[in-house]
Chains A and B, each alone.
Chain A
């Protein structure tokens, strides 16, 4: 087990390293921060001075090496815009993002999974078809459209909720619902097909033939098996807790990581963009490891090598 974890961690670190490297080169080759931050018609001397100050005049690989050395020491550089440490800027925004993504995640689980299970158990019923119709709508409609519709109804028409910002206690509701509905739709579909797959397995019929009540067959035999594939998608959703709200944050002017990323990209604030990508990669990779460990816990076939391994 230890060897397995060590291997997984090594791969995780490698993944993060590759993300950082790739992002570094793409960002440095795709536009000049000096122009963006100082504006294109700034005097050549100040552009030169800016470049020297930020080390942008050195060869790219030297910049890269310096970046990696600093990063390994925990220093991800400073924001070119206000000079503060990039990581600090990013971490300040994390609570705001989590304030909408965590409740949205809960919403996805609480609506998506029961809806999927219900639909599977009542396959082809009216409820199933309705659930699936809503679910298709939920994940085909882009989140900014859904956001705008919600704003139109609840803010403009009914005037119940604020349309943007973060200054009121009710401001988070629309962003949470927007994020939650789309995720719940995906999860419902996934759970439904996982359940249907399991319900068709011979051991479900065998459990019924044993005399077990249907409710117990579902709870004790179907659900634990359907949980295995569903874990993948739930794990993916955990991975998007940090960075999954870029569009929604922008639409609702929510001061989280997503909005910071958008502004940092358009400003070429390299250190900040890098720091966000590093954080995102780290959460994704961690979520993946957690999913793998959960698999082993849920599925004994992956836990121990079989004796019947012909």
Chain B
């Protein structure tokens, strides 16, 4: 069966100037570099990594919000049409985005109902009464009451706003939701509400999610597969339980170890030296080698490809399988 979403060797570079104009020199920033993955209908791929690792750029590339510099995005077997073309617009109905900041994604001056009905209006679908009925049904589906229809975003809580964003995204019956840090702006006690809602909607509507987050625990909770990014490349991909309990790539190991948990508390932390370098200064060979305690000479010159390990997961490390 063709996967819903196929991303192969996707790249995006930006020309940037280091330093303030006109002193700086030009440089190339590899925001996303040779990323490949598949996502089947009804499944969730979690994309994790630290700021600047390229997760958000990947999301934009998948939706065709920015054109790729190389590689390809295929949706249901067909490549992504040219951005802005009618067929792209038609395809965009099947893929929607959910952002981190629900208040920023909503228009403060419009009532909740108007905003939820908006996608139908934009695409010229249905009569007024039908749009209203569908919007009410969708509010119900995301756990809001009919009286929220006439409210305004500022009258609602953060969790309710994110539900509205979800309801609006679902109005066009998409098959794929790209969720970029969908719960990061929410309070801890509210996050679980939204995560549970996402899981319930997936079960009921057969949605696929590309779930981008820095919160490894939430990613594990929702994902069927997880991809870890570092400086524009996927360094490890696999089953979430396996990947988080026994990470194969040294970066994943450090990342997992860095997540404080109240369960294994007072354990030894594996603290990485240094900070993620500026993507413009990406080290040669394996980009992670300057911070890696296992690095060997080969890591400095040869960029490791993502390869399948004995246990079925994939890691981009020359030493994967030998360290842990």
Contacts and interface: CB of A to CB of B under 8 A. Distances in A.
A contacts B: CB pair < 8 Å = yes
Interface of A: 1, 3-4, 7, 302-310
A238 B20 CA distance: 27
B279 A309 contact: no
A7 B20 CA distance: 15
28 contacts: A1-B23, A3-B22, A4-B22, A4-B23, A7-B22, A302-B20, A303-B20, A304-B19, A304-B20, A304-B23, A305-B17, A305-B18, A305-B19, A305-B20, A305-B23, A305-B24, A306-B19, A306-B20, A307-B278, A308-B278, A309-B16, A309-B18, A309-B19, A309-B278, A310-B51, A310-B52, A310-B278, A310-B279
A7 B23 CA distance: 13
Contacts of A302: 20
Contacts of B18: 305, 309
Interface in B47-69: 51-52
Interface string B86-121: 000000000000000000000000000000000000
Contacts of A306: 19-20
Most buried by A among B16, B23, B24, B52: B23
Q: Which 9 A-B pairs have the closest CB atoms?
A: A305-B19, A305-B20, A305-B24, A310-B52, A3-B22, A4-B22, A310-B278, A305-B23, A305-B18
Most buried by B among A7, A307, A310: A310
Contacts of B19: 304-306, 309
Contacts, number: 28
Interface in B14-47: 16-20, 22-24
Contacts of B278: 307-310
A5 B112 CA distance: 52
Interface string B258-301: 00000000000000000000110000000000000000000000
Given A305-B23, A305-B24, A309-B19, 16 more contacts: A3-B22, A4-B22, A7-B22, A303-B20, A304-B19, A304-B20, A304-B23, A305-B19, A305-B20, A306-B19, A306-B20, A307-B278, A309-B16, A309-B278, A310-B51, A310-B279
A305 to B, nearest CB: 2
Nearest to A307: B278
Nearest to A3: B22
A302 B19 CA distance: 10
Contacts of B23: 1, 4, 304-305
A124 to B, nearest CB: 24
A308 B20 CA distance: 12
A306 B19 CA distance: 6
A290 to B, nearest CB: 19
A240 B39 CA distance: 63
A1 B24 CA distance: 11
B269 to A, nearest CB: 25
Contacts of B16: 309
Contacts of B20: 302-306
A282 B141 CA distance: 65
A302 B279 CA distance: 22
Nearest to B279: A310
